[in-house]
């Protein structure tokens, strides 16, 4: 719910959090119900969440975190106010969250790699590059190593065998996890696959590489603003537009 300072609470009487900003703004944008009242002060509050490291925290003066960074960047893109961010510092922070050895992303400084940040961190790059392209300053080279991310996802996050040390898998292989030796779960399966979609699209468009493992490994393209497949996003926008006629 919208607050006088431009922030949103997670629910009536709940805490203020940058996730609330993203949830409210993304729903409003997708449903075509964005208003000046929702926009008023929202970008300015989000910018207060950018930290000295360059990422975004859940609220002003909090630690930079991958999930919050995505919420901040995507919200600013929705509001067409990304220019308010310190983009150079943000990109430096984001690029340094990709681990040189593993190829995956960590969520915060000095933390371990985690498969879910394949989306939360990597999705920021196409969003930012889209803004840079609009300004005519798209870098010649990609800003993260998409092929290394594909390798981490497919070789380290994917459950390829029917036995994992931390769980007994009764229904065979399948699903994705945080990292090796961790159990699979629906949360990580969702965001690892979303990260794979980001990496595959980036590999093709920015690195001129084919999809790792061939076309049988291809997943559907997504819109990184909403983490929806392109078809689903277009259907939703068309559906809600008809309701407003």
127/164 same-domain check: yes
pLDDT digits (tens, 9 = 90+) for 143-176: 999 999 999 999 999 998 655 555 555 556 789 9
**Cβ burial, residue 81 (10 Å; 0-12/13-18/19+):** middle
Pair (53, 147) in one structural domain: no
In whole angstroms, give the CA distance from residue 245 to residue 236: 15
Pair (186, 223) in one structural domain:
yes
Yes or no: say if 25 and 79 are a contact pair by the CB < 8 Å rule: yes
Residues 132 and 188 in one domain: yes
Same domain, 131 and 171: yes
* 3 and 51 housed in the same domain: yes
Lookup: tokens for 104? 């995956």
Distance CA 118, CA 150 (A): 9
96, 131, 166: which is the final residue of a domain?
96
Residues 84/134, Cβ–Cβ less than 8 Å:
no
* Same structural domain, 185 and 107: yes
Q: Is there a single domain that holds both residue 87 and residue 113?
A: no
Q: What value does the mean pLDDT of the chain take? A: 93
Tell me: the pLDDT tens digits for 29-76?
A: 999 999 999 999 999 999 999 999 999 999 999 999 999 999 999 999
The token pair at 226 is: 């909403």
Alpha-carbon gap, residue 81 to 204, rounded angstroms: 28
Separation between Cα atoms, residue 233 and residue 225, nearest integer Å: 10
The domain that contains 217 carries what CATH number?
Answer: 1.50.10.20
The encoded tokens of residue 33 equal 């119900």
Residue 16 CA to residue 135 CA, distance in Å, equals 32
Q: What is the pLDDT of residue 171?
A: 57
Mean predicted confidence (pLDDT) in 223-237: 97
What is the count of structural domains for the chain? 2
Using DSSP's 3-state secondary structure scheme, residue 98 falls into: strand
Residues 81-113: tens digit of each pLDDT:
999 999 999 999 999 999 999 999 999 999 999
Check: pTM over 0.85? Answer yes or no: yes
Give residue for tokens 């277009």.
Answer: 234
Q: Is residue 70 a contact partner of residue 126, using CB atoms and an 8 Å limit? A: no
**Domain end residue (candidates: 96, 121, 141):** 96
> Quick one: tokens of 217?
């490994």
Residues noted as catalytic: 65, 108, 111, 114, 116-117, 178, 185, 188
What number of residues does the chain have? 245
Does residue 89 share a domain with residue 17? yes
**Domain end among 66, 96, 126:** 96
- Domain holding 10, by residue range, is 1-96
Q: Do 33 and 142 share a structural domain?
A: no
Q: In terms of Cα–Cα distance, which of 85, 4, 89 is closest to 42?
A: 4
C-alpha distance from residue 197 to each of 80, 92, 119, 229, 238 (Å)? 24, 23, 9, 9, 23
**For the ranges 86-90, 194-198, 215-219, 226-230, which has the lowest average pLDDT?**
215-219
48 and 117 inside one domain = no
For residues 107 and 226, state if they share a domain: yes
């Amino acid at each position: 719910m919208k607050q006088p300072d431009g922030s949103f609470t997670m629910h009536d009487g709940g805490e203020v959090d940058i996730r609330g900003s993203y949830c409210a703004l993304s729903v409003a944008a997708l449903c075509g119900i964005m208003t000046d009242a929702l926009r008023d002060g929202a970008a300015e509050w989000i910018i207060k969440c950018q930290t000295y490291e360059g990422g975004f925290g859940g609220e002003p003066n909090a630690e930079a975190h991958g999930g919050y960074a995505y919420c901040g960047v995507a919200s600013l893109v929705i509001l067409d106010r990304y220019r308010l961010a310190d983009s150079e510092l943000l990109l430096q922070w984001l690029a340094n969250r990709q681990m040189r050895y593993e190829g995956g992303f960590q969520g915060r400084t000095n933390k371990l790699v985690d498969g879910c940040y394949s989306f939360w961190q990597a999705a920021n790059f196409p969003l930012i590059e889209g803004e840079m392209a609009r300004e005519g300053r798209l870098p010649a080279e990609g800003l993260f190593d998409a092929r290394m991310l594909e390798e981490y996802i497919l070789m380290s996050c994917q459950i390829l065998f029917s036995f994992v040390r931390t769980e007994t898998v009764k229904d065979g292989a399948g699903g994705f996890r945080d990292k090796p030796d961790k159990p699979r779960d629906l949360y990580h399966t969702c965001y690892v696959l979303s990260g794979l979609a980001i990496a595959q699209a980036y590999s093709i468009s920015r690195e001129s590489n084919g999809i790792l493992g061939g076309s049988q490994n291809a997943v559907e393209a997504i819109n990184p603003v909403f983490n929806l497949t392109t078809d689903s996003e277009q259907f939703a926008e068309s559906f809600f537009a008809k309701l407003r006629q």
